[in-house]
A and B are shown apart, each in its own frame.
Chain A
């Protein structure tokens, strides 16, 4: 019996180690295969459909008080765009900045920073949740995107709002971009923010304009926005997935 027990134990140990290694390398190989990652990605559609089903269109993200504010608001991703045109604008406090809004709209137009500030504003203290796992709480002031949409009048065929940014993400100059659908675009807390914690938006946090999409993760909230386009489809833009990080495997719907 003891020898049988031993051999069983040995077998078990070997089986476990071999099984573990097999599972790991197998999973790593599956992570490289197109069909399996696509299968895994199908969960995003289920999550998106479920959250849209459960969440009322106007459901508001939690808002906080001044006491909850993070002592400093962390910058992530680009902290100072390596872009001469942007740097020239920043040197003049963005006096020459023009936000181009166009695409599938009846009245395309460009806004200076002063024109955006002159529109009715909203101030909100919200929690910024990074895909990495950390959160920070900041006080944002900006013009609701809905105010701008009312002025430019989206055409019925417009399904997405695409934000084109000033920050190059690599040596080839690939620019950051992001997109949201019309439901999030019209949401009351979706702001083109120009102030953080009662001061002009710092460069490290996206000056002069970043978007707030409070019911999604941080990477949706593009910084250094130069141009807004309303479009019908996303698959003909850059990598076709609707955003810089989406083109690199992150979910387009970042509600979780």
Chain B
């Protein structure tokens, strides 16, 4: 999260770390991603299983399935089957408290789906609206990052970055703060951001399109590069969770490297440098 080299000094104690377009697009992305994840899990719940291949009915069992059944005592239990192994996931996956507090059969629980109750039509409305928000925001970001040279200046690894990769891994493992060097993204940070921006997000969008019967007709068979529509649905699900994994690592790093300073820099743009008083 670094500054441009020609960063504007806001005060003697800080500098402008993020330009306003980057800040705005970051928060739009935060909003869209959270809503897409939660409405996506609502949509998943309508068919709480993942298949591999072109169809769901190919004679092979799903690779993942959430279900509810009776246990040996005759009590309802939630189960999750992954590659043929069954896990008791009562209360979270397969069976969880419904809107009235009584256990109901559902894939993901009400507290993580949007809307909370089982309501596919509304989940789809949220999902496709914010999918457009994400796509438009994403294109705007790419255009900005190229035009402003944010990509070339701040995100592309330099030769020095590559040489520092060993040190950077060590620093991350030891949770060592980079001090003044934190004015620039380190190599792991650059690679992670590039991976998220240019691999995971484009992939999750493309896999979403791969599930559209309309877009399937654009070039018949194009979704076979993902293994077919049901494989595309499965990978869409996995990539969404990889993005969640990124968010957790990102938040962890934000917290340990000066939470308020980082947060301020993503809201007002201003980042206080070492030695200055932290709020």
Measured in the bound complex, the distance between the Cα atoms of B43 and A134 in whole Å is 11
Chain A, range 69-102, C-beta contacts under 8 Å to B: 70-74
Give the interface segment out of A47-55, A150-158, A173-181. Answer: A47-55
A223 at the interface (CB under 8 A from B): no
The listed residue (B116, B128, B229, B259) touching A28 by CB distance below 8 A is B116
Q: Provided the pairs A44-B128, A133-B44, A134-B56 are in contact, do residues A255 and B214 lie with their beta carbons within 8 angstroms?
A: yes
B247 at the interface (CB under 8 A from A): no
Q: Provided the pairs A127-B54, A127-B55, A127-B229 are in contact, do residues A249 and B125 lie with their beta carbons within 8 angstroms?
A: yes
Which residues does chain B contribute within 8 Å of A62, judged by CB atoms? 216-217, 220-221, 223
Which residues does chain A contribute within 8 Å of B49, judged by CB atoms? 134
Measured in the bound complex, the distance between the Cα atoms of B124 and A251 in whole Å is 9
B35 at the interface (CB under 8 A from A): yes
Measured in the bound complex, the distance between the Cα atoms of B132 and A155 in whole Å is 37
A248 at the interface (CB under 8 A from B): yes
Which residues does chain B contribute within 8 Å of A55, judged by CB atoms? 214-215, 217-218
Which residues does chain A contribute within 8 Å of B125, judged by CB atoms? 37, 40-41, 43, 249
Q: Point out which of B49, B55, B221, B223 has the most chain A C-beta atoms below 10 A from its C-beta.
A: B55
Measured in the bound complex, the distance between the Cα atoms of B58 and A71 in whole Å is 6
The listed residue (A12, A24, A40, A134) touching B129 by CB distance below 8 A is A40
The listed residue (A31, A136, A214) touching B55 by CB distance below 8 A is A136
B17 at the interface (CB under 8 A from A): no
Chain B, range 10-53, C-beta contacts under 8 Å to A: 34-35, 38, 43-44, 46-47, 49, 51
Q: Provided the pairs A27-B115, A40-B125, A256-B214 are in contact, do residues A60 and B43 lie with their beta carbons within 8 angstroms?
A: no
Measured in the bound complex, the distance between the Cα atoms of B217 and A256 in whole Å is 12
Chain A, range 233-256, C-beta contacts under 8 Å to B: 245, 248-251, 254-256
**Tally of A-B Cβ pairs under 8 angstroms:** 142
Quick check: B132 and A133 within 8 Å, CB to CB? no
B267 at the interface (CB under 8 A from A): no
A198 at the interface (CB under 8 A from B): no
Measured in the bound complex, the distance between the Cα atoms of B218 and A255 in whole Å is 12
Chain B, range 212-265, C-beta contacts under 8 Å to A: 212-218, 220-221, 223, 229-230, 233, 259
A63 at the interface (CB under 8 A from B): yes
A118 at the interface (CB under 8 A from B): no
Measured in the bound complex, the distance between the Cα atoms of B34 and A255 in whole Å is 24
Q: In the complex, what's the smallest C-beta–C-beta distance from A57 to chain B, in angstroms?
A: 11
Quick check: B213 and A216 within 8 Å, CB to CB? yes
- Complex interface bits, B51-73 against A, C-beta within 8 A gives 1, otherwise 0: 10011111100000000000000
Measured in the bound complex, the distance between the Cα atoms of B197 and A91 in whole Å is 60
Closest to B216 in A: A62
Which residues does chain A contribute within 8 Å of B215, judged by CB atoms? 51, 54-55, 255-256
Which residues does chain A contribute within 8 Å of B218, judged by CB atoms? 54-55, 59
Chain A, range 101-117, C-beta contacts under 8 Å to B: none
Which residues does chain B contribute within 8 Å of A248, judged by CB atoms? 121
Quick check: B131 and A134 within 8 Å, CB to CB? no
Quick check: A215 and B217 within 8 Å, CB to CB? yes
B141 at the interface (CB under 8 A from A): no
Q: In the complex, what's the smallest C-beta–C-beta distance from B103 to chain A, in angstroms?
A: 19
Which residues does chain B contribute within 8 Å of A169, judged by CB atoms? none
Measured in the bound complex, the distance between the Cα atoms of B59 and A41 in whole Å is 37
Residues of A within 8 A of B (CB): 8, 12, 23-24, 27-28, 31, 37, 39-44, 46-47, 51, 54-55, 59-64, 68, 70-74, 127, 129-137, 214-217, 245, 248-251, 254-256
Residues of B within 8 A of A (CB): 34-35, 38, 43-44, 46-47, 49, 51, 54-59, 111, 114-117, 119-122, 124-126, 128-129, 131-132, 211-218, 220-221, 223, 229-230, 233, 259
- Known A59-B218, A127-B55, A215-B214; further 5 A-B contacts with Cβ < 8 A: A27-B114, A54-B215, A61-B217, A71-B57, A71-B59
Can you name 6 A-B pairs with beta carbons within 8 Å?
A: A27-B35, A31-B126, A59-B217, A68-B55, A132-B46, A135-B55
